[in-house]
Each structure stands twice: as structure tokens, then as C-alpha cells.
Amino acid sequence: MVGYSIKRLLNGLLVLWGVASLIFFLFMALPADPARMMLGQRDDAETLEKIRERYGFNLSMGEQYLWYLNDLSPVSYHPKSGTGPGIDQAGKYRGINLFSNKSASIKLKWPYLRTSFQRTGKTVSSVISETLPNTVVLAVTAIIIAFVLGISMGVVSAGFSGKWMDKLITVISIFGMSVPSFFAAILIAWVFAFLWHDFTGLPMNGSLVEVDDLSGKEYYAWGNLILPALTLGIRPLAVIVQLTRNTMLEVMGMDYMRTARSKGLGVWSVRIKHGLRNALNPVITATSGWFASMLAGAVFIEFIFGWNGMGKEIVNALNTLDLPVVMGAVLVAAGLFVIINFLVDIAYGLLDPRIRIQ
């Protein structure tokens, strides 16, 4: 297991390096001038040159790429005479010194995602730390809804296989898989928060933390979570329904299920107590994958519902060409995806001896 874990960890690091390289060269290929974006209407030749020198925009693309990896690396190089891109904001005097001489030092530090172009002096890490918890809350709620409803509907569908109930649930799940997320978000917001607002009382948009207009105090608006979580959970719900149905049909034909029935146990008791437990392994696998993708794929849903999460922050950063925020958010999303998949792989190895042997 130790060798397997190390191998999976190295694969994850390679994935993160590939993502970091891809987004760097992708955004560096844009025709926009980052120095002009940072200064806006206050630019002049002298100030532009100072900004380019400070952030390394005057360096070649290869040099900028190496400095970018240096900022991301937990073990980084810090020159003492002059600064490379991001070194001054990275916390030149933070971290643990591993090596130091008169010209440079090598330090152990947290990966540095640089500073926002549009928010003066604010680091990308602080921007993400303010919005990522909201995205996590939204994703966790959505996956719980999808898991509970998906398993329930899948068991019912398998129990009524070939009948009208099974066909109805199948049509609903196919519709849930085929409808685009942004269209589902607009449709659900229009129906439940606009047309039926008098009955549901649900808002069309809003975030988890709201500010009271009279007192100015912050409070948790849990009602704002219902519609975006339901919308985000539609696609994994459809997958879980079909996966549960198919695995339940396969399990119900096995010998031990017939033996349990022959002992006089009720049909639904056998299906739930014996069949469902053995049918959950592929469902859990799919659920873990969908949860990881939810953390990165809630962009349109958060923007449409006004949910103050990382997805909405990415859209706002793209509109203002705040490239460090976009690049940092993509890297964080990729990192979460890698971590979740790594933990799931390790859990399988611990729970299933066959995987450990392989």
C-alpha cells in the first residue's frame, strides 16, 4: 500500500504540474497587457515600465514560466539582490529557511498564487479562501441530495422494472443528464423563484451569508442554498439513479438473494438489507467522482443564482481579465480533484484486498 500510495501521489503531482503549465501558457498567449490592466486609466510609460519590471512582465516567457513554478513550489528560490516576479508578494521573509547565503536563500513555504490585478494588494489565496467554503457547502449539499434521492429512486425503479414507474424514473434521469447546467439553472430559478415564489418563498439569487439592511449584521440565509444545490445535483442524481437501478437488477438475480427470499423474508426487506448493500460500491465510486467535479464545475450555477462561491469569482475575474485569480482558482479546483481521487483510491485499497494485491 505504501508503494501504491506514493505512485498515486506522484501521478497527482504530475497532473497538477500539467494543469499549471497549461493555464500559464494559455493565459500568456492572450494579447492583453497585464501591466495596463493593473493600472487602468492611470497608466503612463514610466509607471508601466516599473510594473513590468516588478512583476517580471519584461522577461521572456520561459523565464516567467520558471518564476511561476518557483512561486507554486513549496520549496522555492529567493534571491536577495533584486526580486523575481511575485517574490516580494510571496512573503520573502516568510517560511522556513532550508539554505541561505549572501546572494539567495531556499525556503519551505506554502504555494504562492500571486496577487490580484484588480484588487490592489490582495492575494489570490485570500480571494479563494473567502469563496471556496461557500462552494464546498453548495457541493456537499448537492451531492447529499443526489445520493439520497438517486439511491431511493434507483431502488424503486429496479423494484418495478419494466413497469410505468420504472419508465417514468428512466425518462426523468435521461432528461437530467441531457439538459445543460446553465439551462437547468435558468429554468429552475424562473419556475420556483419567480412563477411559484408565492408558494415556495425561495429567492432567485443570494449567497449563504447575507447582510441585514437595518442592523448591518451578517446572517446565514439557508433558503438561498436550496435552488442552486438542487440544480447542481441534477446530473449526478440522474447518474446515481441509473447506476443504482442497473446494479440492483444484477444483484437481485444472484443466488444469495433467492436464498434470503426462500427463508421467508419480505421482498423489499431483502432488496434493501441484502441487495442494496452489495450494490453500493459502484454508486459510491461515481458519487466521489461527481463530488470532485462539482467543486470545479459550479461556475454557471453560482453565477446565475448569485452564489458567492469560487465559480462566480472565476466568472467575475474573466470579465475583468484578472488572470492570477482565474489561474489560482483553476489550480485549486484541480488540486481538490486530485486530492479527492487520491483519497478514494487509498480507501479502495484499504477496504478491498483484491485492489491491494493488484
Angle, helices 310-319 vs 323-351, to 10°: value is 150
Neighbours of 223 (CB within 10 A): 13
Please report the pLDDT score of residue 51 as a whole number. 76
CA distance 187 to 168: 21
Distances, alpha carbon 199 to alpha carbons 191, 207, 305, 308, in Å: 11, 21, 19, 26
The answer to whether 189 and 197 are in contact (CB under 8 A) is no
Which percentage of the chain shows pLDDT scores above 70? 82
Which percentage of the chain shows pLDDT scores above 90? 6
pLDDT at 354 over 60: no
Beta bridge partners of 220: 209
CA distance 174 to 159: 19
Please report the pLDDT score of residue 90 as a whole number. 42
Please report the pLDDT score of residue 141 as a whole number. 92
CA distance 349 to 102: 48
CA distance 260 to 163: 24
**Pick from 58-67, 196-205, 246-255: least confident:** 246-255
List the one residue out of 330, 315, 277 whose CA is nearest residue 18.
330
Q: Which triple of cell numbers denotes residue 237? A: 442524481
**H/E run at residue 98:** strand 96-100
Please report the pLDDT score of residue 88 as a whole number. 47
- pLDDT tier for residue 2 given thresholds of 50, 70 and 90: confident
pLDDT at 125 over 70: yes
Average per-residue pLDDT for the chain: 80
- pLDDT tier for residue 356 given thresholds of 50, 70 and 90: low
Please report the pLDDT score of residue 245 as a whole number. 87
CA distance 146 to 235: 8
The answer to whether 275 and 248 are in contact (CB under 8 A) is yes
- pLDDT tier for residue 166 given thresholds of 50, 70 and 90: confident
Per-residue pLDDT tens over the stretch 298-311: 788 888 898 888 88
List the one residue out of 163, 153, 342 whose CA is nearest residue 236.
153
Please report the pLDDT score of residue 91 as a whole number. 47
CA distance 86 to 67: 8
Per-residue pLDDT tens over the stretch 93-119: 567 888 888 777 788 888 888 888 777
- pLDDT tier for residue 85 given thresholds of 50, 70 and 90: low
Please report the pLDDT score of residue 279 as a whole number. 73
pLDDT at 82 over 60: no
Please state the rounded mean pLDDT for residues 157-184. Answer: 85
CA distance 111 to 68: 10
Q: Which domains does the chain have, with CATH numbers?
A: 44-108 (no CATH), 124-357 (1.10.3720.10)
pLDDT at 17 over 90: yes
Number of Cα atoms under 13 Å in the Cβ half of residue 21: 8
Please state the rounded mean pLDDT for residues 263-277. Answer: 67
The answer to whether 300 and 86 are in contact (CB under 8 A) is no
Please state the rounded mean pLDDT for residues 31-50. Answer: 71
CA distance 204 to 182: 14
Distances, alpha carbon 209 to alpha carbons 11, 18, 22, 119, 308, in Å: 37, 35, 34, 21, 9
CA torsion through residues 346, 297, 67, 60, sign: positive
CA distance 251 to 95: 55
Please report the pLDDT score of residue 22 as a whole number. 92
Per-residue pLDDT tens over the stretch 319-346: 887 888 989 998 998 888 888 878 877 7
Per-residue pLDDT tens over the stretch 213-239: 777 788 888 888 999 999 999 988 988
Strands 96-100 and 75-79 turn out to be unpaired
Per-residue pLDDT tens over the stretch 128-144: 998 888 998 999 999 99
Please report the pLDDT score of residue 89 as a whole number. 47
